[in-house]
Amino acid sequence: MKKIAWLIDVDQSSFDRDVLERSSDVPVLVDFWAPWCAPCRTLGPILEKLVRETEGRFVLAKIDSDKNPELSREYGVRTIPSVKLFVDGEVEDEFAGALSEPAVRQFLDRAIPSPLDRLAQQAGILADQGAWGKAGEIFTQVLEQNPTHVLSLLGMIRVLLNSNRAADAHPYFARLPIKTAESTEGKLLRARIAFSGGRETENLEELQEKVAAAPGNLAARMALGHGLVKSDRHAEAMDQFLEVIRRDKNAQESAGRKALLQVFDLLGPTHPLVGEYRPKLSAILFS
């Protein structure tokens, strides 16, 4: 095998230097294989392709298990191919069998963060500490290099929401993959965007007076509901949205229904109010 910087053959004599010691500087992915193993011949080219694509992200060390039985025994290799990720001299993660290329990519993404992933993780730590400005700078830096970096898109949305810039969060949310946008976190962020900006918040007392004077004024009820959500008066807000649904001839597509579901997303599926108001919504829709 032609050796390149990130693809090496390793045996018993070079294992300590090329795997254990080197893994202190860069993750080392060890592939235990054998020439007679058909699944190894399937997995090997995938690993070699990926190490070339991501030069510098990890080292791929190939170990012929037949020629190095001591290493196989020491690291509990019972089936081949067997792949083990070493970090700082220890096995950090592993898998066995000939995974598909997408599955191997998923393993690498989880086990070996890319440089952009590491930057985004640093920004996330800053955001958790309330350093929104610095976090936003780093998320922006990542997104300039990869406009679809999901972790940074999510982080940037959080930064903007916590900086009272909900309107600026819309374009970032629109770039999220559908699966992410429809995840629990995605729905929470979408709900926060919906209730953080857009309409000007009128005085709640004035809105309540408008609704009392004209109970059929659904626009006023919606405005009141939004204002109540912003004031963390969620039960009162949901009562307003329920009333909009009752009075809307097209209840299934009602703006009130959409807003109520967004409150559910905002509170989370285990919140007591969600458990209380879901049956109330069903009773209106299916009565």
Diameter of the chain by CA atoms? 87
The alpha carbon torsion through 264, 269, 270, 271 (nearest 10 deg) reads -10
The answer to whether residues 101 and 15 belong to one domain is yes
Over residues 72-97, mean pLDDT? 94
Flag whether pLDDT at 3 surpasses 90.
no
Q: What is the DSSP letter of 197?
A: S
What backbone torsions phi and psi does residue 212 show, to the nearest 5 degrees? Answer: -65, -40
What does the buried/exposed string (b/e) look like for 225-237 if buried means 16 or more CB atoms within 10 Å of the residue's CB?
bbbbbeeeebeeb
Per-residue model confidence (pLDDT) at position 154:
96
Mean pLDDT for the chain? 92
Sign of CA dihedral 35, 40, 42, 46: negative
pLDDT in tens, 143-171: 999 999 999 999 999 999 999 999 999 99
Percent of the chain with pLDDT over 90: 83
pLDDT in tens, 56-68: 789 999 999 999 9
| 97 is known as an active-site residue | no
pLDDT in tens, 179-236: 999 999 999 999 999 998 644 456 889 999 999 999 999 999 999 999 999 999 999 9
Asked whether residue 146 is assigned to any structural domain, the reply reads: yes
The answer to whether residues 169 and 255 belong to one domain is no
Q: Which of 8, 10, 30, 37 is catalytic?
A: 37
Domain boundary (111, 128, 159) is at: 111
**DSSP strand pairing (90-96 vs 28-33):** unpaired
Per-residue model confidence (pLDDT) at position 2:
43
The answer to whether residues 160 and 177 belong to one domain is yes
The answer to whether residues 137 and 93 belong to one domain is no
For residue 197 the two structure tokens come to: 């900006």
Q: Which domain holds residue 246?
A: 204-285
Domain boundary (87, 111, 135) is at: 111
Percent of the chain with pLDDT over 70: 97
Per-residue model confidence (pLDDT) at position 39:
96
pLDDT in tens, 95-129: 999 999 999 999 998 888 888 888 999 999 999 99
Asked whether residue 2 is assigned to any structural domain, the reply reads: no
- Which amino acid appears at position 124 of this protein? G
Asked whether residue 222 is assigned to any structural domain, the reply reads: yes
Q: Using only C-alpha atoms, what is the Rg of the chain?
A: 27
Counted domains in the chain = 3
**Domain at 59, CATH number:** 3.40.30.10
Per-residue model confidence (pLDDT) at position 286:
87
The answer to whether residues 171 and 222 belong to one domain is no
The answer to whether residues 252 and 274 belong to one domain is yes
**Domain at 156, CATH number:** 1.25.40.10
The answer to whether residues 43 and 96 belong to one domain is yes
Per-residue model confidence (pLDDT) at position 202:
62
Asked whether residue 1 is assigned to any structural domain, the reply reads: no
For residue 11 the two structure tokens come to: 């045996």
For residue 245 the two structure tokens come to: 């649904």
The answer to whether residues 189 and 217 belong to one domain is no
**DSSP strand pairing (90-96 vs 7-9):** unpaired
Asked whether residue 128 is assigned to any structural domain, the reply reads: yes
Domain boundary (164, 196, 228) is at: 196
Distance between CA atoms of 150 and 185, rounded to whole angstroms?
12
Over residues 127-138, mean pLDDT? 95
| 88 is known as an active-site residue | no
Q: Is the pTM of this model over 0.75?
A: no
pLDDT in tens, 174-187: 999 999 999 999 99
Please report the beta strands in the chain, taking only residues with DSSP state E, as ranges in sequence order. 7-9, 28-33, 59-64, 82-87, 90-96
Asked whether residue 247 is assigned to any structural domain, the reply reads: yes
Q: Which of 8, 29, 40, 191 is catalytic?
A: 40
Asked whether residue 150 is assigned to any structural domain, the reply reads: yes
Closest CA to 242 of 234, 186, 198: 234
Q: How many residues does the chain have?
A: 287
